[in-house]
Amino acid sequence: MFAKRLIELRTREKLTQKELAAKLNLGRGALSLYEIGQREPDLQTVKNMADYFNVSADYLLGRTKVMSGNERVQLDPLYVDMIRAWENKKGTPEQMKEALEINHGYIELIKEWEKEGMSPNKVKEIWNKMLEVKSLLDSPKKK
């Protein structure tokens, strides 16, 4: 379970093994062995990883489904990307709520496409086009 959680957290943060290893002061080889389950980290390494990802050590080790004592909900990665993009634009809470409601439909549609076998790159391409169209529709019209 540790290996699966480590991969999940690293990919959620969009980090390569090399990047994460550097951030945690580990060798890339050691991180790779952790991810394939051929090596177990020491207690300090588990603590450092849990601190870096802001999750509990128990979550990282697979002892609980709760990410931390705060019982945070894991968001769909598409929601995380959307929220991060929104933060840069400084929208109002009402606009954020509206965007989440609208984009929930898009996300469900994308999940259906993935189930039907569409490649992740094609799904991403369509998602980006939909965001472009939405951005154009939301932008003020020039006279």
Domain ranges across the chain: 2-60, 77-138
Please give the Cα distance from 40 to 12 (Å, whole number): 21
Instruction: Copy the structure tokens of residue 14.
Output: 């969009």
**CATH superfamily placement of domain 2-60:** lambda repressor-like DNA-binding domains (1.10.260.40)
* Residue 21 neighbours by CB distance under 10 Å: 19
* Planar angle of CA 94, 69, 5, nearest 5 degrees: 90
Looking at residue 103, its pLDDT comes to: 62
Across the chain, which has 143 residues, the per-10-residue mean pLDDT values are: 90 90 92 92 90 86 71 55 62 63 66 71 72 71 54
| Residue pair 93/101 in contact by the 8 Å Cβ criterion | no
Number of H helices, E strands in the chain: 8, 0
Report CA 44 to chain centroid distance, whole Å. Answer: 24
Please write the tens of the pLDDT for every residue from 85-125.
Answer: 666 666 666 666 666 665 666 667 767 776 777 776 676 77
| Residue pair 58/64 in contact by the 8 Å Cβ criterion | yes
Instruction: Copy the structure tokens of residue 79.
Output: 């929601």
